[in-house]
Amino acid sequence: MKEYDINTNTDKDQQGLLLVSDIIPDNLNILPLYNRPVFPGITLPITFNGQSHVEEIRYAIEKDGNFLGVSLVKNSDNPKHETFRLHETGSILKIIKIIQITDDSAHLIVQAISRFKKVREIHHPDFTRWTVTPVRDNEDEMSDSLKAYTLSVMTNVKELIALNPLMKEQLKMVLSQISYDKPGLVMDLIAQMLSAESSELQEILETYDLNRRAEKLLLLLRKEIELAQLQEKIQKQIDEKINRQQKEFFLREQLKAIKKELGLEKDDKTAEIEKIEEKIKSLTLPAEALQVVQEELDKLRILEPASAEFHVTRTYLTTLTDLPWGFYSRDNLDIHKAREILDREHFGLEDVKQRILEVISTIIKRGRVAGSILCLVGPPGVGKTSVGRSIANALDRKFYRFSVGGMRDEAEIKGHRRTYIGAMPGKIIQSLKRTGTSNPVIMLDEIDKIGISYQGDPASALLEVLDPEQNQSFLDHYLDVRYDLSNILFITTANQLDTIPSPLLDRMEIIKLPGYILEDKVEIAKKFLIPKQRKEHGLFTKDISISDGAIKRIAGQYAREAGVRNLENQIKKIMRQTTLLQADKGNHKVQVNQKNLEEFLGKPIYKTEQLYTRQKPGIVLGLAWTPLGGTTLYVEASSVMSKSAGFQQTGQLGKVMQESSHIAYSYVRSYIDKHPHEKSVKNFFRENHIHLHVPAGATPKDGPSAGITMALALYSLALNKSVRRDIAMTGELSLTGKILPIGGVKEKTIAARRVGIRELILPSDNRPDYEDLNPKITEGIQKVHFVDYFEDLIPITFPRSQKE
């Protein structure tokens, strides 16, 4: 039996006296500790869970005089029996107070009395029970080395206290209570406070020799200090960062306040409002707009800058004040200069230029645009857009262009109401903002392709914009303030007139650009397209030359359409290859001529001038007008012997064209009946099923102007005689054989010339149209036959030898 002084603070006088309750029994119940060991000298609360542990504690209270042992569970030992898992050195605890004890948990306040060493295990069916021997520190003789160790420990502890404020209070209290003559106790108390690993702490517990214990503790203390230093460093860095940010924030706020106090700077909202007010001063706002602006400004003043409403109002005011209220560019009043600009930028187009100059001179004379809406109509690539730009240049006005093709929403023209999120003004107001003047030239492209949908009718919105009666006070939904558009010169472009809504068409001044003949294209290429593309590809005159013959071949065999865009594309192709050749071979001069053209552009797209090189009965060359320009078109008729007569047409003919084919069929049948013909001819339509076809079957065609062509094809088929190859015709046929006038004389003449036709047949009523044509267009046409009746065609079209 060993005795132990449990009161660490007891006076020397009391040391000899021992209470019965302080006598530690030899055999104790041993309870496991899972986290860290308990060091002697410590009083601490402790909880044990589990029914068997509660039983053990009860036993300790009842039988072992409140003493029990605790020992740390080993990490990787035999888990089967706790005995094998427990370290053999542990601590003897005395239960000082029972806080709560239930069937499966016990909360206690215990005091660790001393270390113990296991002597042997006592067999007990339910408990882990060992015979233990308490281990006391030998502090009787304080050697010098132990003193030194103790001092060193204390120095390190002080260092640690300085670093770790959490430990500070605890350690301070401990240190104040202990004296240096109990170094073992001091070390145990310090060890209890360290955050070291449980195995390291257990090692300290198991080290009975004080010098060695101090050594080990010093190691742990150093570690702890380093950890604390690192922690402090990290903390400092974080603090610094936060402090810097806070400092900057405070300084900035202070600066703002100082500046505001000194009147040097306003807050964001005031600055914003003043900016808008400043802008208003520079504008000539009409009274209505001014009132709205003032109202909106008042609203802005009371709104919170962070609110959505503030944002909406500010955007509205910015848009409104960004418009060029009262700003007009000064028009060029010199008509000669205007003519010079038009001539400089475009080849040919004499009558177009003439019409444009008339419009410009009116604008100059009246000093305002009012009423002039130009509509440039023509196939793609004939220069509608570039003529529009030239008009702006000639007038010295800003130019803005946008396409209305496919536009389905009225809001694109008139804007969205401001209540919608992301609302914007319409295209017209946007173009004013972009150009910065109230009198630009605005080009509305593809007006013939404007759409209608459930979102409104953009065409009627356009009417409001274009109509001189209405556009003085145009109301955009977003702006909600009237804007005078009457000084804008509107130019529209279209490929065809038929699909333009008639109220719009009525208000426009139509200027037709019919397309170019081969010679024009060669000139345009030489004078405009080649120099332009050369420049755009970074080439000089010395780098590339394209012979006249080659240009002619490009225009004739690679780009035969009415405009010059394809021609320009072919020229681009040559330029691109030149730049590549130069990159490969250094400063290499490229010379393109008729012979080597194919090396650049590949095989020609159009080989022969005409589809048919040999004429056959039933085939007649007609002339047609399409949105892509004038074109030549063959009509083919063929017969199938059949018991029942019949007539069918193919080639995607529109309704009007189908009707006119029926007229041709009926008329030719009755013409043959009424006039002397051979019997086989007389019976031809009764005995044959007739098929009429217009090639390029995939392209839709319509209109009445192929009437005479179809009738002649049927007549030629019935007679089994071919018509002349070198003649082309156009004209509407009435049921009585009268030939009625048609449109697009100019385009059709150009188309005929493009394929080398030299003789034309036109309705008599179209004579003035033809005679009005520029001699340059009619230059290559040797003869034009003006006809009134179907009969007139016969002597012209059938070669003399075959004539009846």
Ligand X SMILES: Nc1ncnc2c1ncn2[C@@H]1O[C@H](COP(=O)(O)OP(=O)(O)OP(=O)(O)O)[C@@H](O)[C@H]1O
Active site residues: 705, 748
Q: Does 545 bind ligand X (CB under 6 A)?
A: no
Six-digit token string for 787: 């006809």
Query: Which listed range, 144-152, 375-383, 720-728, 747-755, lies at the site for ligand X (CB under 6 A)?
Result: 375-383
Work out which of 201, 280, 544, 564 binds ligand X, going by CB under 6 A.
Answer: 564
Spatial distance between the Cα atoms of 673 and 666, rounded to a whole number of angstroms: 11
Tell me how far, at minimum, the Cβ of 539 lies from ligand X, in Å.
Answer: 17
Q: Does 515 bind ligand X (CB under 6 A)?
A: no
Tell me how far, at minimum, the Cβ of 329 lies from ligand X, in Å.
Answer: 23
**With respect to ligand X, which residue has the nearer C-beta, 348 or 744?**
348
Question: CA 443, 447, 452: angle at the middle one, nearest 5?
Answer: 130
Q: Does 405 bind ligand X (CB under 6 A)?
A: no
Spatial distance between the Cα atoms of 295 and 300, rounded to a whole number of angstroms: 9
**With respect to ligand X, which residue has the nearer C-beta, 293 or 349?**
349
Tell me how far, at minimum, the Cβ of 567 lies from ligand X, in Å.
Answer: 8
Subset of residues 376 to 395 that bind ligand X, contact rule: CB under 6 A: 378, 380-386
**With respect to ligand X, which residue has the nearer C-beta, 146 or 571?**
571
Three-state SS sequence of 88-109: CEEEEEEEEEEEEECCCEEEEE
Q: Which residue has the tokens 């496919």?
A: 406
Q: CB–CB of 796/727 below 8 Å?
A: yes
Work out which of 37, 69, 348, 514 binds ligand X, going by CB under 6 A.
Answer: 348
Size of the site for ligand X (CB under 6 A): 19
**With respect to ligand X, which residue has the nearer C-beta, 385 or 579?**
385
Tell me how far, at minimum, the Cβ of 390 lies from ligand X, in Å.
Answer: 9
| Residue facing ligand X at closest CB distance | 383
Spatial distance between the Cα atoms of 204 and 38, rounded to a whole number of angstroms: 11
Q: Does 113 bind ligand X (CB under 6 A)?
A: no
Q: Does 528 bind ligand X (CB under 6 A)?
A: yes
Element (H, E) at 620: strand 619-626
Tell me how far, at minimum, the Cβ of 532 lies from ligand X, in Å.
Answer: 7
Spatial distance between the Cα atoms of 230 and 689, rounded to a whole number of angstroms: 106
Tell me how far, at minimum, the Cβ of 524 lies from ligand X, in Å.
Answer: 5
Tell me how far, at minimum, the Cβ of 272 lies from ligand X, in Å.
Answer: 42
Work out which of 160, 163, 349, 719 binds ligand X, going by CB under 6 A.
Answer: 349
Q: CB–CB of 781/749 below 8 Å?
A: yes
Q: Does 694 bind ligand X (CB under 6 A)?
A: no
For residue 706, which phi and psi values (nearest 5 degrees)?
A: -95, 10
Element (H, E) at 538: none
**With respect to ligand X, which residue has the nearer C-beta, 405 or 743?**
405
**With respect to ligand X, which residue has the nearer C-beta, 381 or 458?**
381
Query: Which listed range, 153-161, 215-223, 373-381, 589-597, lies at the site for ligand X (CB under 6 A)?
Result: 373-381
- Residue of 475, 479, 482, 473 lying closest to 423 (CA atoms): 479
DSSP, collapsed to helix, strand or coil, labels residue 248 as: helix
Q: Does 447 bind ligand X (CB under 6 A)?
A: no
How far is CA 749 from each of CA 354, 740, 757, rounded to the nearest angstrom?
A: 21, 17, 9
Spatial distance between the Cα atoms of 731 and 573, rounded to a whole number of angstroms: 40
Q: Does 565 bind ligand X (CB under 6 A)?
A: yes
Six-digit token string for 183: 């170094």
Tell me how far, at minimum, the Cβ of 555 lies from ligand X, in Å.
Answer: 13
Q: Does 347 bind ligand X (CB under 6 A)?
A: yes
Structural Rg of the chain based on CA atoms: 54
Q: What is the DSSP letter of 691?
A: E
How far is CA 309 from each of CA 34, 418, 421, rounded to the nearest angstrom?
A: 63, 11, 11
Q: Does 608 bind ligand X (CB under 6 A)?
A: no
Spatial distance between the Cα atoms of 797 and 713, rounded to a whole number of angstroms: 11
**With respect to ligand X, which residue has the nearer C-beta, 440 or 563?**
563
Dihedral of the alpha carbons of 732, 735, 737, 742, in degrees to the nearest 10: -10
**With respect to ligand X, which residue has the nearer C-beta, 381 or 744?**
381
Query: Which listed range, 340-348, 464-472, 540-548, 670-678, lies at the site for ligand X (CB under 6 A)?
Result: 340-348
For ligand X, the binding residues (CB under 6 A) are 346-349, 378, 380-386, 493, 524, 528, 563-565, 568
